Amino acid sequence: MIIRRLKEQDAQAVSDLIVTTIRISNTRDYPVELMEELVRTETPEHVLQRASWTHFYVAEEGNRIIGCGAIGPYWGKEDESSLFTVFVHPDCQGKGVGRAIVETLEQDEFALRAKRIEIPASITGLPFYRKMGYSFKDGKETVDDEQLYRLEKYRT
C-alpha cells in the first residue's frame, strides 16, 4: 500500500469509494435516507473542490484506491487544522489503512503547524478516532445537529 496525494484523475474512484463506504459501513449507524442524501453530494466534483483547499491523500493498493483522507485549515486558522473525508473501503477496514492515512495527515504541513486538530467524526468512525488519540471537544460526548461527534487532539 502506498499513500500519495490525490491526482485529478482519481476523483471518480475516490467518489465511488466514499459512496460505497457510506452505503455499506455508515448505514449501520445512520438512517439509509440520511446516508443517501449524503451520497448525492459526494461527487467527483465535490472531491476536487475539497482538494482545492486541503491536502487530499489516497491510499492505493495495486491500481485500486482503498482509502482517502484530507487535512486543511480549521476555519482558515494558521494554528488549527481539521481532518476531512477519511474513508476506507469496507473490504479493507481493520487492516491498518485508516491508521496509515491519519498518521500521514498528522505529518502533513497543515498538522505540523497546528496546535490543535479537529475531526467531525461519524458515529461509525468514533471508536477508530478515539483509538487514534482524539478526545471529545469541550468534553461533549453527544452528536451535534449534523449527527457528528466533534473530536480534537492537541499537538505537543
Structure confidence by residue, pLDDT tens digits, 88-97: 999 999 999 9
Closest-CA residue to 102 (of 43, 153, 52, 144): 153
* pLDDT tops 90 at residue 155: no
* Per-domain boundaries in the chain: 2-154
- Tell me which CATH code domain 2-154 carries: 3.40.630.30
pLDDT band, very low/low/confident/very high, at 78 (cuts 50, 70, 90): confident
Distances (CA, A) of 53 to 3, 23, 95: 19, 26, 29
Pairing verdict, β 64-73 and 116-121: unpaired
Does the pTM surpass 0.85? The reply is yes
The mean per-residue pLDDT over the stretch 128-148 comes to 96
Asked if residues 72 and 105 have their Cβ atoms less than 8 Å apart, the reply is: no
Q: At what angle do helices 11-24 and 44-51 cross, to 10 degrees?
A: 110
Percentage of the residues of the chain whose pLDDT score is greater than 70:
100
Q: Which pLDDT belongs to residue 105?
A: 98
